[in-house]
Chain A
Amino acid sequence: MIDGLKTMLPLAWRNLWRNPRRTGITLIVVAIGLWSILFFSAFMNAWAKSSKETTLQLLLGSGQIHAEGYMDDPSIETLMDPPDRDLNSALDAPAVADWTTRVVVPGVVQSEYKTLPATIVGVDPAAEARISSIPGRITEGRYLDSSDDDSAVLGLHMVERLKTGLGRRVILMSQNAEGAMSEQSFDVVGIYDADKATEDLYVFTGRAASQRFLGLEGEIAQVVFVLQEETALEDAVAALAEAAPALDVRGWKDLNLFLASMDSYMGVFVHVWLSIVFALMAIGIVNTQLMAVFERTQEFGLLRALGMKPRRVLVMVTIENALLIGIGVLLGMVLAAVTIWSLSDGIDFSAFARAMEMVQTGEIIYLKYEPGAFILFPGLIWLLGILVTLWPALRASKCRPVEAMRRET
């Protein structure tokens, strides 16, 4: 067996370079095909990760806790008390990196020129800065000082639509705890820049200030928590639900179904791409290898005439194909590794900032090596490549010497 391989390998290697042009074309096809799969996989995963992190860090967190019914009717009537001792203790568990509470109620915001629907969010600025990216997205003015700060922070697009600005005043209106309408004037102290949908909807003020404005006695709308490890989501949600059985505890996958779908289908997208690329590669490889076999029909006839068994011809041609595709795979891996390495400082999409906001992803996408992809995809391409080239190899092995060498007789 080993001796047989020693015979076949050098012969296969030399046969590869008999037609350098055809070998080169096949290598390019395999290398570029694999490169595109590895790069696409790295890019899609980086994009999905960025999109997920951007969304989670904006307001969503790893998960949220609400009163039962709040998710169906997020109003002042479905608020809840601040976390009790059991929930506090569950939220202080090592798996939870941080958490905060918010008052979130529907309302309207009014300027001298316009009235717009809005979601009024009362926050604890210090805790919010650890949970959310909004405090870091202030482009003009400042974020809120404290929970008692009765100023307002508005989104850039909402400011434009309201025709208001920094230092001006807006009126927030919402139903209060007694069922009547409350309205109060707030100074616009900060303007934040996020995606358009967020900018258009959320108005931030201090949590205690919002509770006073709404006539609440400490009630909140939600607890937002961030986990140390994303993989611990299900366990953490279960632990929190156990600590607060009367409340509605949900992980981000249940809060943002679109994001959850994107996350779970990312692997499918990559495999669909893999299938398309492989189908194209397979056509190219089979075509060139069939040509190679056809051109060498006479030689295969000679080998058979000299006493080489059909199985050995099959093995020899398969070794050639395995070598050829293997080299292409190695080239593709090197090409992909170099590309990902050269882009590891991030691909800057800031020129498309608005478009990136629409898909809720960061302006810089950071590509990362994925060792699993660098084993799985090259391995798959190599094995599938060998599999499809078995057809030309079988043709070579099945040749009848006298017919294959007809030109000699």
Chain B
Amino acid sequence: MDPIVTCRGLSKTFGKGELAVHALRDIDLDIMPGEIATLAGPSGSGKTTLLNMIGALDEPTSGEVTVDGQPLGGLSRSQLSDLRLSKIGFVFQSYNLIPVLSARENIEFVLQLQGVSAAERHDRAMEAIKEVGLSGLEDRRPGKMSGGQQQRVAVARALVSRPAVVLADEPTANLDSKNALALVELMRSLNREHGTTFLIGTHDVRVLEQSMRHIEMLDGRIDRDARGSA
């Protein structure tokens, strides 16, 4: 089986000369389809930078990233947008929902960008809402939802386009224990039912305990890469 994400010799340096910060140093990494992998490590270890590189949000200083067989190097801004739209789902720490859209509309938005028909958008969004346990709340705007509910909408939005990989950066950081556990359980069940691949940057022990693979980062390098039994 081919990896869904491949990083080869990936480095990222911010700044120049004496002020240069080496955020990533020569990273080699494969993420396999259906994995729930966690990126752990102290602040500044390079978790977010690595997620940004894989998510085509930032360009590496050197090295190559391949997502679902597509090398990112040399793609135009527009092509990178298409790649993010079709192959990558994002879940952010602060939910990042569009405040003027309802839960359903937020989920549908990605499908609209993909040019999916209105009827299919509606059906798929409602199905995603059901899957994340928010039935009945589909017409609520983010401002009228709890943090946990908003993060569930974000997960539904990330999954509704059936991406190759979902990148989640500190998804539980703003949630209380109950909601954090519920979210982790949700991601686990989605992984089990749909084989969705998750790469999660986190400090949260509850998330780390549920992951199949722990990738420990330190000073821009992969310090440890271990597969668990969860």
- Measured CB to CB, the residues of A under 8 A from B are 3, 6-7, 11, 14-15, 18, 298-299, 302-312, 400-402, 405, 408-409
Contact = CB atoms under 8 A, between A and B. Distances in A.
A309 B92 contact: no
8 contacts: A3-B115, A7-B109, A14-B101, A309-B77, A311-B78, A402-B52, A408-B169, A409-B52
A309 B100 contact: no
Given A306-B85, A310-B81, A402-B57, 10 more contacts: A7-B113, A299-B98, A302-B96, A306-B90, A306-B157, A307-B82, A307-B114, A400-B58, A402-B52, A408-B96
A18 B84 contact: no
Contact of B100 (A15, A305, A400, A401): A15
B78 A308 contact: no
A304 B96 CA distance: 12
B77 A310 contact: yes
A401 B57 contact: yes
Interface of B: 48, 52, 55, 57-58, 77-78, 81-86, 90, 92-94, 96, 98-101, 109-110, 112-115, 118, 157, 169
Given A7-B112, A18-B100, A299-B98, A309 B90 contact: no
A408 B93 CA distance: 7
Nearest to B116: A3
A302 B98 contact: yes
Contacts of B113: 7, 306-308, 312
Given A11-B101, A14-B101, A305 B57 contact: yes
A-B CB proximity, top 5 nearest: A307-B85, A14-B100, A402-B58, A402-B57, A307-B84
A302 B101 CA distance: 14
Contacts of B58: 400, 402
Contacts of A400: 58
Contacts of B112: 3, 7
Contact of A305 (B55, B77, B94): B55
A18 B78 contact: no
Contacts of A299: 98
Contacts of B115: 3
Contacts of B101: 11, 14
Contacts of A304: 81
A312 B112 CA distance: 12
Contact of B110 (A306, A405, A408): A306
A125 B112 CA distance: 81
State the majority secondary structure of interface residues on B. helix
Most buried by B among A306, A309, A312: A306
Nearest to A397: B77
Nearest to B201: A409
A81 to B, nearest CB: 83
Contacts of B100: 11, 14-15, 18
Contacts of B169: 408-409
Nearest to A404: B57
Contacts of B157: 306
Contact of B78 (A11, A309, A401, A402): A309
Contacts of A303: 98
A408 B94 contact: yes
A299 to B, nearest CB: 7
A305 B99 contact: no
A115 B48 CA distance: 101
A11 B85 CA distance: 19
B81 A308 contact: yes
Contacts of A409: 48, 52, 169
Contacts of A3: 112, 115, 118
B111 to A, nearest CB: 10
Nearest to A17: B100
A408 B57 contact: no
Nearest to B99: A18
Nearest to A7: B112
A149 B94 CA distance: 98
Contacts of B92: 302, 405, 408
Contacts of B78: 309-311
Nearest to A303: B98
Contacts of B110: 306-307
Contacts of B57: 305, 401-402, 405
A408 B58 CA distance: 14
A15 B101 CA distance: 9
A305 B48 contact: no
A310 B110 CA distance: 15
Nearest to B51: A409
A387 to B, nearest CB: 24
A408 B52 CA distance: 11
B76 to A, nearest CB: 10
A14 B96 CA distance: 17
Nearest to A14: B100
Contacts of A6: 118
Contacts of A311: 78
Contacts of A402: 52, 57-58
A156 B184 CA distance: 98
A310 B81 CA distance: 8
Contacts of B52: 402, 409
Contacts of B96: 298, 302, 405, 408
B10 to A, nearest CB: 15
A306 B84 contact: yes
Contacts of B109: 7, 306
